[in-house]
Structure 1
Amino acid sequence: MGRSPCCEKAHTNKGAWTKDEDQRLVDYIRLHGEGCWRSLPKAAGLRRCGKSCRLRWINYLRPDLKRGNFTEEEDELIIKLHGLLGNKWSLIAGRLPGRTDNEIKNYWNTHIKRKLISRGIDPQTHLPLNETTTNTVKATMELDFRNAPKPVSKPSFYLDFIYNQFQFKPNADSLDEPNCTASSGMTTEEEQQQLQKKKKKHDHPSNGQELNLELSIGIHSADSSRV
């Protein structure tokens, strides 16, 4: 079960506060203190929400509220506190008597931010704008480098396979064409002569092979005649 509402919204006034409502709230708190904001409106005879009474008192009716513009000393104190505490406006307001957290927050967004930017300071990090931009670029580059895919290393057998596939191996059909994969330093005519010699050796066996063939045939015929 959720928390019950602080008042019956159907029977409360909305909109701007009247002078009579402000006076009733001030008189009641002077006599009884702040107390419980949930029960205060009914006890003070106000047809307002407890939250509305609290904000009206804290932001407008407190006797210790400091009216008027912020001083230069207050500006510098807010800048120092923001550098230490960040956007914790209630803690910052606790160190500036008479100022509310909502007032300080609005003043920060409308005035102090512009003042820091005109000085060349980043309102969020309180560092020089050039240094902040450089750090942002470095962080972005580091993130891109970390997210980049790692290079895939090919195994050695894969490289051997590629080398064997593209390595030139002369055969009977390729003897007619010059080898274009590697230059031997010879001229075109010399290469053609070398290719013709290789082709002749391939088409016609050597004399030693012919002699061996004739001798083998003669011996075979002589043995068959004897039988």
Structure 2
Amino acid sequence: MKKLQKNLYFLILFGLFLNIYNIHSQTNNEVSTYNWFDKNLGIESLDFKNGPAHLNFDKTANNQNRYYIDDFKNGSIMYNGQHYFDLYLKYDIYADELVLRPYAESNTTKINIIKDYVSSFKIGNQKFTNLKELSAPNLKKGYYEEVILANNTILYIKYYKERNNVVGENAFYIGYLLKYDYILFKDNDFHLINDKKEIIKLYPEDKRKINDFYFKNRNLKKEDPSLFIKNLMRYINNLNL
């Protein structure tokens, strides 16, 4: 009887404990707690373990690949309403799939996490959001890097790669070309801003400011287009670069 009461007491405390952490904002203690449960329950018990295997048989040219970053990096995901931290992730931007390596040590096991249940994920300091509700035909659904600006304004960057065949010596190889789409959430709507004219249309009072930025940052636009757009939008919204 005492053992039953003790177990019941533990379950009540455990339930209260989880409710407290659902109510409060994310803290270091919260992250540590989730990590403790994941570690002790085992990665095999987590919701997303049943995703399909990630397979890649690409024979690529010039060290090109289908990933945003080729190596697995420490990150976290929001999956089916639950946070999971301290995971080993990388982002396949050709297939628009988030890939999990279930264990810290190097092995061949890789899983495509089921996209429909992923709200967002982080790799390092970069946050990616699953914009699966986009309805306009010119806007791609899927994962976008999220950059918070100001006044309910958010920049979303879609990274994707186009695949082509490369003829090598006695063999064919696969090449990948990195591309970008930029969406601005402003005035409670999503706007495609791949062109300077589209940006000026949203900020007509800042036309001169935008033209000056394009002129002064021509090299950055060629070398790192996504950083160029991030800096431009921060500049327009009077944020520190």
For the aligned pair, the TM-score class normalised by the smaller chain equals under 0.3
Larger relative contact order (CA 8 Å, sep ≥ 6): 2
More strand by share: 2
| Structure 1 or 2: more helix by fraction | 1
TM (normalized to structure 1)? Answer: 0.22
Q: TM-score of the superposition, structure 2-length normalised?
A: 0.21
